[in-house]
Amino acid sequence: MSVGTCIFPTMPEIQGIQLGTACAGIKQTVRDDLLVIALDEGGVCAGVFTRNAFCAAPIQVAKANLAHNPRWLLVNSGNANAGTGQQGLQDALATCAQLAAWVAGKPEQVLPFSTGVIGQPLPVAKLTDALPAAVANLATDHWQQAALAIMTTDTFAKGVTQTLNLDGQVIHFNGIAKGAGMIQPDMATLLAFIATDARISQGLLQQCLTEAVQQSFNRITVDGDTSTNDAVMVMASGCSSAPEITAGSKALELFSEALLSVCKQLAEWVVRDGEGATKLIRIGVEGALTDKEAVQVGKTVAHSPLVKTAFFASDPNWGRILAAVGRAGVENLVLEAVQIFLDDVCIVSNGGRAEDYTEEAGQRVMDRAEITVTIQLGRGTACQEVLTCDLSYDYVKINAEYRT
């Protein structure tokens, strides 16, 4: 189940970056569940990782190896290798060493990533036995295969492609992501891998990614849970003929905007594919004192089970939204200054139900598959948007049966 039509785009090749998949049979044998991404010598890599205290073993290794000019990413689905202690770290390091042996590289140049069930030992033998096939499968046009290989409870492969014209030369961006549940980021969310052929330093690439994540992956939530395995990675091969992107340049500004656009599109696909989701909800908070306050209000509404179930039922129970705003922790909130809208229908004004609001008008909006909630706080000029989805019977069913 997903909100809207989800068609994987035709993606151009990104010179200097190859992708290969194979079936390791970690949790299922129907499709590939192992992905290797290879970055040519001279390329650079940036990453943002979960801040969950029970950070998964592969994330710990990837964070450490990011400083060693990584050339390969190794991704498996079906097992998170999280909550696995010292053995999990040893297993993650062992898979890096095995891939390095197959590609004649160094283990510290491999970044491992895992997604799936938490608390179960990584089946290292299955993974390493499939590595030769994944390496042999490396090609520049395997983006859809890669997106399929990293899925868990996702219902469709998520991909985005975009171009940027600099001085008559084209820079390409391709991005894939997985994620449908355990989505409430504290840095990024899920797993996302973005590639570009831009020429840019690692430091600038890291700066652009960190800023982009804050305005995209950090503005979505499905269920309020931050994963142990979240990571967003960007690889830049430097193979474009466009000029090198430098600090303080107009090109850097344009590159940052393009990367943010890719991140926002991928983040929205994740919410559209939220486990059991039937509706996409945009929560815009305006007139806040700070961006932090705006996000705080938006996420309080987005995380409310009562609000989310009302959207699932198409029930214009506007009091649930009002109550969530009221408990968001905004100090000295002037209730009479607050206005709340469902699309263009004002539901709250002057401290209570808007005078011209009708149940019929609210119902027309709630019957839609995509809805915008606008909350005007009347306190300042800051504004932010949070994306979420409804909470359905299927979300409970999917997660109740996740390990069966």
pLDDT score of 399: 81
* Residues 181 and 42 occupy one common structural domain: yes
Q: Is a pLDDT exceeding 80 seen at residue 4? A: no
The reply to whether 1 falls in a domain is no
265 SS3 class: helix
Looking at 244, 272, 300, the residue that finishes a domain is: 272
Asked, for residue 7, whether it belongs to a domain, the answer is: no
Structurally, the chain folds into a number of domains equal to 2
Which of 153, 189, 226, 300 does the annotation list as catalytic? 189
Mean per-residue pLDDT over the chain, rounded: 94
Inter-residue contact 107 to 96 (CB < 8 Å): yes
Residues 6+ apart with CB under 8 A from 375: 283, 284, 285, 286, 297, 298, 301, 321, 325, 338, 339, 340, 341
Instruction: Give the model confidence (pLDDT) of 80-108 as tens digits.
Output: 999 999 999 999 999 999 999 999 999 99
Residues 204 and 290 in one domain: no
Q: Label residue 185 by pLDDT band (50, 70, 90).
A: confident
**In the structure, what pLDDT confidence band is assigned to residue 13 with cuts at 50, 70 and 90?**
very high
Q: 128 and 95 in contact (C-beta within 8 Å)?
A: yes
> Which residue matches tokens 């909550």?
83
What are the pLDDT digits (tens) for 363-399?
A: 999 999 999 999 999 999 999 999 999 999 988 887 8
The per-residue pLDDT for range 50-62, each reduced to its tens digit, is 988 999 999 999 9
CATH number at residue 286: 3.10.20.340
Residues 368 and 259 in one domain: no
| Of the residues 223, 243, 272, the one at which a domain ends | 272
395, two tokens: 């979300």
User: Is residue 10 included in any domain, yes or no?
Assistant: no
Q: Do 28 and 49 lie in a common domain?
A: yes
Q: Are residues 139 and 188 in the same domain?
A: yes
Residue 224's pLDDT is: 81
Is the model's pLDDT at 338 over the cut of 70? yes
CATH of the domain at 198: 3.60.70.12
268 and 305 in one domain?
A: no
How far apart are alpha carbons 115 and 152 in whole angstroms? 7
Structural domain includes residue 104 = yes
Q: Is 50 a residue of the active site?
A: no
Residue 2 lies in a domain: no
Residue 210, pLDDT above cutoff 70: yes
Q: Check whether residue 46 and residue 166 sit in a common domain.
A: yes
Show the domain range for 221: 17-272
| Closest to 153 measured CA to CA, from 59, 252, 225, 244 | 225
Reported pTM: 0.94
* Cβ(103)–Cβ(135) below 8 Å: yes
Q: What is the DSSP string of 123-152?
A: -HHHHHHHHHHHHHT-BTT-HHHHHHHT-S
